[in-house]
Chain A
Amino acid sequence: MPRPVVRHQYDAVIVGAGGAGLMAALEASKTCKTAVVSKLYPTRSHTGTAQGGIGAALGNVEPDSWEWHMFDTVKGGDYLADQDAVEFMCQEAIRVVYELEHMGLPFNRTPEGKIDQRRFGGHTKEFGKAPVRRSCYAADRTGHMILQTLYQQCIKQAVSFFDEFHLLDVLLQDGRCAGVVALCLATGEVHVFHAKAVLLATGGFGRMYKVTSNAHTLTGDGCTVVFRRGLPLEDMEFFQFHPTGIYKLGILITEGARGEGGILRNGRGERFMERYAPTLLDLAPRDMVSRAMYLEIREGRGIEGKDYLHLDLTHLDPSVIDRKLPDIADFVRTYLGVDPHRQPIPVQPTAHYAMGGIPTNLHAEVLDERGQVVPGLYAAGECACVSVHGANRLGTNSLVDIVVFGRRGGQRLAQWAPAADHLPLPKEPEVMAQEALSRLTTNLGGESAAQIRDELQQAMMAQVSVFRTEAGLKEALAAIVQLRVRYGRVDVQDKALRFNTELEEALELGCVLDLAWATTVAALARRESRGAHCREDFPDRDDANWLKHSLAVLRDGAISLSAKPVTITRFQPKPRVY
């Protein structure tokens, strides 16, 4: 039975209320009638869990420049980032950090009353000479403070929110965007939002993997919805594993812990990073540290020969831990019963960040397969691929990305939408969404979504994580194909309309299945190793053949891949040593 339908008309709809979505909403609502649609209450968004900081070359504690920041970002991304976008981001970073401060964000302060800054992986002075203090932070709660501050500003500006509304579909008409369809979780009704412009800011999709720092809700819904509508996804093979997840749980321990002096040690007590990155040591970029950890474990030098290592903070001044890393100290005590002042912390790499996503230009406008702007459709934040992170993101650069491009997208939309028209909607715009919902709730196939999710996460963890091989990727691909077939028989037991969280989880599983598929197909195709994508059968970077972005498009039930050139301006590709 079709669900009741409610219709709305807005100039702009922002989907997602993390840092990117809220920043966009603040800009868009200056000129447009704007609605923010989010499956979570805004302050529950995953931006709130970001710990370590936001990178900007303020130079508050030592000399710094945005050019150094740009160089680090390009090199950290193994030269796959588009350098015009990186240049824009690193310049804007300084301005947005001050803007956040003006909005009230409580940064930690230097004795002179300026925003304090600390070290982070891959951030250096003078083009790689030594680590630099660039990360602006608020204890280990920087993301919490950003999310709270932006939401506070939205309250002040009286932005309209549709909280706990789950995006189901994006409406495209003649290559333009005409709105979105969403499920109201509280009532089970389907809502159609007719809009001139839509900005997607739905975050990442770490829930493809078993061990992840990502929330249960990070299932890449926005990416999937546009993918199913025939738009491309860019650079899906690049998924970052963060070196320090709490063993088995995946909960993140910020790189800021190493920025404050923490050291990684193997089962013999050695500071093994000396062998892998003699200059930056524990503060080398994440892809390198995660690989080093996998190798240590594989060669039997894990703690007691097991699959984890130690993050040692015991030599730090206890007051540094208590003042600058209070939350992670609390996590470690709560979940492991370990006192970080006196005991090392068991860690393993954890699936953390999607470099890939919906392709956009510098203005957060979504691009189709031919590189043409899709009028009225924007994307920003982790769901988008500008690409500023290339093959591997540096720490603190996602928070920069979300505020810089969230703001840019919001501004662009605010200029464009007032003069644009509402496109006529298709006759029954909600039909695809209705069908998907009724399929899941009336199906008698007897498959369990939880079971399929478990199997998917294990396959991805085993074969599509830090090290990859052709044989392993093929195995994962075969498993995913099977799981997608089984997904067609998933049975949602709860038939209720209100707060049907079982239905919501089944929808989310459908998304991670599609994204895992795209990731694996793209990983199989890229026969080189670059940044977070490491093929053991092709261990070297191959600029002659592979210095290009990948685009994955869903066509007639299969994924086809194409390439897109990388924009290189100031920094020519060089071997990447630290």
Chain B
Amino acid sequence: MLVDVRIKRFRPEQDAQPRWAAYRVEAEPTDRVLDALNTVKWRHDGSLAFRRSCAHGICGSDAMMINGRNRLACKVLIRDLRPPIVIEPMRGFPVAKDLIVDMDGFFAKYRSVKPYLITEEPAPQAERPQSPEQRERFEDTTKCILCGACTTSCPSFWANREYLGPAAIVQAHRFLFDSRDHGAAERLPVLNERSGVWRCRTIFNCTEACPRGINVTKAIGEVKKLLLRQSVK
């Protein structure tokens, strides 16, 4: 069948402003939006720029706004969308070209929460013990693929680009709730800053946007509670 696709395009070397381009592409209802983008690129206009790699929702390359919602182009099927399919870059990051956004700021915030295991204890010969229950405690936030869909769907982030954003908080949560980690004292001050978790207004856009089904809002709530408990102590 033929599908109408409208793409917001921006060529940094030529365009002062983004512009809309329309394409009519051959696609199966069970194709991914990524397949349609590839068809545009391979059959209509080779200069269309977007990131992609795995094509099955694991590498986090192709988060973009599709029919008004942030999703991975490789994880949404044409049959599940109402035509025309309208595709824009994620909102809130500088656009580098077409659907490619500059994610340097996003990754800088990720790094700022010290996203690595912090522990003073010397490692034993074999594994550090951890019960299945302790492991389960942070299971949800281990799934994050750093796609940026949550942060760029968050009105608090749109209002203030200094805000750490849900993705960085999810990454902090992954370690704060790991029984093997002792880095809370280093991480919590970053989360407690003015640009930290308190900017979250519990709007739930992030949770809806997350292609990995992470309960992002819940994770942020748990980090907030941890901060409150710390300050009471």
Contacts and interface: CB of A to CB of B under 8 A. Distances in A.
Given A41-B103, A152-B117, A450-B42, A499 B53 contact: no
B27 interface: no
A306 to B, nearest CB: 16
B53 A217 contact: yes
B96 A492 contact: no
Nearest to B126: A98
Q: How large is the interface on B (under 10, 10 to 19, 20 to 34, 35 or more residues)?
A: 35 or more
A41 B100 CA distance: 13
Interface SS, B side: loop
B80 to A, nearest CB: 9
Nearest to A44: B59
A145 B144 CA distance: 10
B180 interface: yes
Given A109-B132, A501-B50, A155 B115 contact: yes
A249 B35 CA distance: 11
A498 interface: yes
Interface string A44-81: 11101100000000100000000000000000000000
B87 interface: no
Interface stretch (A110-118, A227-235, A529-537, A563-571): A110-118
B77 interface: yes
B13 A497 contact: yes
A325 B77 CA distance: 22
A298 interface: no
Interface stretch (A99-107, A341-349, A382-390): A99-107
Query: Which of B54, B117, B142 has the most chain A CB atoms closer than 10 A to its own CB?
Result: B54
Nearest to A43: B146
A85 to B, nearest CB: 25
Given A43-B145, A152-B117, A497-B13, A104 B55 contact: no
Given A215-B53, A215-B55, A48 B125 contact: no
A110 B129 CA distance: 10
A48 B145 contact: yes
B57 interface: yes
B178 to A, nearest CB: 7
Interface string B62-79: 000000000000010100
Given A102-B123, A215-B55, A113 B131 contact: yes
A499 B97 contact: yes
A309 B30 CA distance: 20
Given A101-B127, A111-B132, 6 more contacts: A40-B53, A45-B59, A108-B135, A144-B145, A450-B42, A496-B47
Interface of A: 40-41, 43-46, 48-49, 58, 98, 101-104, 106-115, 138, 141, 144-145, 148, 152-153, 155-156, 186, 215-217, 249, 251, 327, 330-331, 334-335, 448, 450, 492-494, 496-502
Q: List the 4 closest A-B pairs by CB distance, nearest first.
A: A104-B117, A450-B42, A494-B47, A113-B129
